[in-house]
Each structure stands twice: as C-alpha cells, then as structure tokens.
Amino acid sequence: MFDNLSDRLGGVFDKLKGRGALKEQDVRDAMREVRIALLEADVALPVARRFIDAVTEKAVGQEVLKAVSPGQQVVKIVHDELVRTLGGDPDDPQSSMAGEGLILEAKPPVVIMMVGLQGSGKTTTTAKLGKLIREKHGKKAMMASLDVNRPAAQEQLAVLGEQVDIATLPIVAGQQPVDIARRAMESARLQNFDVLLLDTAGRLHVDAALMAEMKAVSQVSTPTEVLLVVDSLTGQDAVNVAKSFTDEVPLTGVVLTRMDGDARGGAALSMRAVTGKPIKFAGTGEKLDAIEPFRPGSVADRILG
C-alpha cells in the first residue's frame, strides 16, 4: 500500500536525517521534493500546496532547526500533518474514523445506504460490511440490492450474502428501486433485523438520473449512514466523484476500495480536504473479510515506513 509514495518520501527524509545541523534552505529543498512526490502520487494540487505550507511553517521555526536531531523533528511534523490531511488527530493517532463508530444506534432497522459508480466495489463492500456488523458489532443485518439496471446485480448480492451468511431480500422481478427500498424496510422490521444495508444502483458516470434515484431512495429509507464507495486506484477521479456525490446526497462517509493495490495514495490523501467527508473504511482485498476501519495514524505510519 502506497509503496511508491513511501519510497519517494523515504529517500527525501533519509537525506535530511543524515545531516547533523539543518538550515532553513535544507528544509525548503526537502519540501520541494515532497511536493513533487505528492503530486506524482496524484494528490490534488491545493491539498499538496496546503500540506507543504503547513509543514514548512512549523519546520523552519528556530526551535526545530536548533534541536538535537532536527531531521527527526521535521519527519515528525510531516507525520502529524499527514494524519491531519487524512482526517485524523495527531494527538490520538490510532483513532479510526469509523469501525466502532458506524452510526448504528438508532431505531431499528438502522439503514445504511451504499452509493457509488459501477465497478467501484460497492456490492462487495456491502457484503463485507454486513459481515463486519455481525462480527464486530454483534448486530443482525439484512441486505437488499436496488440495482435494477445491471443484469444479475441483485443475484450477485444474493450469492455474496450466502457466502457471508447474511440474509438478502428476496428478488421480485420488475420492482423499482424505491419500492424495493420500502419492501426491504418492511421486511427488516417484521423480521427484527437491526441493520438494513441498501446496495443502490451504480452507473458508469455521475448523472442526473442516478442522483434523482439516490435522493428518492434516501427519502423513503432515511438512512443513518450514506456511504460512498470509490476505487482508490482512480486517484483524483475518485475524489472528483466523491465531490459530485457530496453536492447531491448527504454522504456520511467514504469507503476507499482497492487500497491493497494502491501504490500512490492520492485518493486517500485528497479525499478529506476536497470533500470534507471522512474515509470510514478501506477495502484491502477481494476476500469478504478484507475491510478495515480507516485509521489515519496507521496510514501515516505506513507512508513514512
């Protein structure tokens, strides 16, 4: 994960730590290289700029440059700024944005609405969350696919449901998304499910019809969580997709999939600053237990090796 970025930053900071004393110019030179590394990692330009400004301002302070090991101190400042950029608190670095914090304490069935583009990993993530909700939260979840556009989408969720032993709403051919959502709520209520996961339809691109459908489903199901699933491998595109959704539906968070294959990290690093939404989970593989609460502290540790 984030290997390219990690290697690049490692090179810059090894040089910095190798020196005894540091001058302001050394820090500025290093920051120029960090800026390039961030842009090559597909971090959004304003985010990279803000990051470099924040680090430079703290690192060129006299106290840092006069410290016993100034290189180490600069790396610590970079680490803390990475945590902040990822949406975390450097004073509580291992805190997660979700996991334990999924909003599940409401009148059951608590509805979690999953939204995203086709191929982002939405259906897989829905099943992963169903399993996680049972295993980590001890709650009973049901899943329903509202995807009437893609052939076999509803069947796909049913198959995944069997694999993780999570109930899925029986398929009724020809029913439209809002009606499926209503039926799912009724069914979950009657069968005493704690949580209902609604896997909404994806599209190839963000379009007006998709947004209208999201809004209609959201109105009838009043979800406590609206989670956007985006593919981290698409870098800034993932962030732009998230921005478009943010303007239309009340997202409560983002799930970044395919983090296992993301050598760059641009999506993760830009998401919070550009959209204002927390990354709640990271998808880390195709297996149905490959999902982790997104912990800014751990991710920053990984980036800095």
State the binding site for GTP.
116-123, 199-203, 257-260
Pairing of strands 291-293, 279-283: antiparallel
- Site for ligand GDP contains 265 (CB under 6 A): no
Site for ligand GDP in 52-81 (CB under 6 A): none
Residues touching ligand GDP, count (CB under 6 A): 18
Q: What is the CA radius of gyration of the chain?
A: 21
- Site for ligand GDP contains 248 (CB under 6 A): no
Among 95, 285, 301, 302, binds ligand GDP (CB under 6 A): 285
Name the one range near ligand GDP by CB under 6 A: 46-54, 182-190, 204-212, 285-293: 285-293
- Site for ligand GDP contains 263 (CB under 6 A): no
- Site for ligand GDP contains 119 (CB under 6 A): yes
Task: Give min distance, CB of 127 to ligand GDP, in A.
Answer: 8
Query: Reading across the β-sheet that carries 167-168, which strands appear in turn?
Result: 167-168, 141-145, 195-199, 110-116, 225-231, 253-257, 279-283, 291-293
Among 70, 71, 88, 121, binds ligand GDP (CB under 6 A): 121
Structure tokens at 130: 């169903």
Name the one range near ligand GDP by CB under 6 A: 60-68, 92-100, 116-124, 266-274: 116-124
Burial 108-119 (b: 16+ CB within 10 A, else e): bbbbbbbbbbee
Among 6, 56, 96, 124, binds ligand GDP (CB under 6 A): 124
- Site for ligand GDP contains 257 (CB under 6 A): yes
Contacts of 255 by beta carbon, 8 Å cutoff, 6+ apart: 121, 125, 227, 228, 229, 230, 279, 280, 281, 282, 283, 291
Task: Give min distance, CB of 146 to ligand GDP, in A.
Answer: 12
Burial 138-156 (b: 16+ CB within 10 A, else e): ebbbbbbbbbbeeeebbeb
Q: Which CB sits closer to ligand GDP, 70 or 265?
A: 265
Among 73, 96, 123, 154, binds ligand GDP (CB under 6 A): 123
Rounded to a whole number of angstroms, the distance between the first and last alpha carbons of the chain is 11
Among 258, 264, 277, 295, binds ligand GDP (CB under 6 A): 258
- Site for ligand GDP contains 283 (CB under 6 A): yes
Distance CA 115, CA 204 (A): 13
Residues in the chain: 305
- Site for ligand GDP contains 276 (CB under 6 A): no
Among 118, 187, 236, 244, binds ligand GDP (CB under 6 A): 118
Structure tokens at 116: 């995203």
Contacts of 124 by beta carbon, 8 Å cutoff, 6+ apart: 160, 257, 283, 286, 288
Under the rule (CB under 6 A), what is the footprint of ligand GDP? 116, 118-124, 202, 257-258, 260-261, 283-286, 290
